[in-house]
Amino acid sequence: MFLAIDRVSKFTYVEFHDRTKMLKGTAFLENVIAAFPYAIHTVLTDNGMAFADLPKNRNGISRQWGPHMFDRLCLAHGIEHKLTKPYHPWTNGQAERMNRTIKDATTRAYHYPGLESLKAHVLAFVAAYDFAKHLKALRWRTPYEAICQASTKDPSPFKINPRHLIPGPNRRWIDAPPDYGPRKTLYNRYVRWAAKGAWIDLFHALASAGGPPAQVLIDSSAVKAHRSASGGKGGSATRPSAARSGRTTKIHAMTDRDCRPIAFLLTGGQVADCTAGSAVLKQMPAARILHGDKGYDSNAIRGQVEDNGTMPNIPPKANRRWKNCISPVLYRDRNAIERMFCRLKDFRRVATRYDRNAVNFLAAVCIAATVSYWL
């Protein structure tokens, strides 16, 4: 895994390569230059073969043909290449700490069936870190927000508008290309289609195209609501719930074992999983096994799942007198729905609710799920 991090904004870029060769390091630097929206003036690397020759070979006969390929690319873009001190415990500290942060959130916390799922989770985590993680070092701003504020103060170092970097349906309506028409027209069309259920119907049509899955996973995730999401018309059913911890909305979802979402339901943040689970289970396809956490351990949920011809694989609560059976081996696959929520919350519009109307927010969730998993 190759990693690049900006020492000021903490913006991170990650790539996976099968080997750490000279060509791989040069290709990674080219992609870093294209990924960062501003000009890079200094690069600090270790003494690996992908970035520099070994200290004993730097003055060898092969250097008469020119510098290392990584140094050539740096010279072509006006970048100063610095190296850490060889054979010394001092290293590139920020990059090493970011490597540790990624490992703590992925390989040390989850089990992956294959390399591709690991790569997808790492890339999703890095995207969430760049666009949704509020860092104390940045005065509780995200790396993306820090870059946008820097571009507003001094746009001269920037090659492109950094607001165009947001992945998926996260951009403001004002940032839409002019070929799409006026921003007010785009927003009105989005709201009308959301009211008619066009976005939800599109999501359900794609999710059901492959047939019923063998295993279904159910869970929920709380979402903070922005202050602009309060005061919507339609009563309390369309507004985020107000609690001591703040305005929140809870997204209830079902997925298959490959992280692909099947159904969504929005409730207030105070609604328990077992209460909203009966409404979510009405959308459950014919499956053999349903995985859920202890929040769904109720007699009503188990009876509804069994009436559908599905076996509930739900761990029992500690206060149950009679403990239901559970398969720990099959239960390991339940982390797929957690990774699905992490991927959806990479989108700024899903990680924080800005919509006053719940229909518009649910439409944004369905669009993010469709783009991420079903297209």
Interval 320-346: pLDDT, tens: 888 888 888 998 889 999 999 988 988
| Among candidate residues 368, 307, 375, the one with its CA nearest the CA of residue 341 | 368
| Among candidate residues 285, 156, 291, the one with its CA nearest the CA of residue 219 | 291
One domain for residues 127 and 209? no
Single residue among 87, 120, 145 that ends a domain in this structure: 145
One domain for residues 207 and 114? no
One domain for residues 141 and 199? no
CA geometry: angle at 39 spanning 175 and 91, to 5°? 120
One domain for residues 112 and 200? no
Which structural domain, as residue segments, surrounds residue 17? Answer: 2-145
Stated pTM of the model: 0.59
One domain for residues 140 and 196? no
One domain for residues 198 and 50? no
User: Domain tally for the chain?
Assistant: 2
One domain for residues 364 and 253? yes
Each residue's pLDDT expressed in tens, for the chain with a length of 375 residues:
999 999 999 999 999 988 888 888 999 999 999 989 999 999 999 888 888 887 777 776 666 667 888 988 999 999 999 988 877 666 678 888 999 999 998 989 888 888 888 998 998 899 888 887 888 899 888 898 899 889 889 989 998 888 766 655 556 777 777 777 888 998 999 999 999 999 999 999 999 887 888 899 999 999 988 888 777 666 555 556 655 556 889 999 999 988 999 999 999 888 899 999 999 999 998 899 999 999 999 999 999 999 989 999 999 988 888 888 888 899 888 999 999 998 898 888 898 888 888 899 999 999 999 988 887
One domain for residues 120 and 258? no
| Backbone angles phi and psi of 11, in degrees to 5 | -65, 130
One domain for residues 133 and 248? no
Asked if the structure places residue 183 within a domain, the reply is no
Do 269 and 249 touch, CB atoms closer than 8 A?
yes
Cβ-proximal residues to 45 (8 Å cutoff; 6+ apart), any chain: 51, 52, 70, 81, 82, 83, 84, 92
Asked if the structure places residue 185 within a domain, the reply is no
28 strand-pairing partners: none
Give pLDDT, residue 43: 93
Asked if the structure places residue 174 within a domain, the reply is no
pLDDT tens-digit series, residues 260-310: 999 999 998 888 999 999 999 999 988 999 999 999 999 999 999 999 899
Asked if the structure places residue 34 within a domain, the reply is yes
Asked if the structure places residue 172 within a domain, the reply is no
One domain for residues 98 and 206? no
Asked if the structure places residue 122 within a domain, the reply is yes
Burial of 14 (0-12, 13-18, 19+ CB in 10 A): buried
Asked if the structure places residue 221 within a domain, the reply is yes
Cβ-proximal residues to 7 (8 Å cutoff; 6+ apart), any chain: 94
Asked if the structure places residue 21 within a domain, the reply is yes
Single residue among 109, 124, 145 that ends a domain in this structure: 145
One domain for residues 342 and 196? yes
Q: What gap in Å lies between CA 368 and CA 366, rounded to an integer?
A: 5
Residue 128 is part of a domain; what is its CATH number? 3.30.420.10
Single residue among 109, 130, 145 that ends a domain in this structure: 145
One domain for residues 96 and 245? no
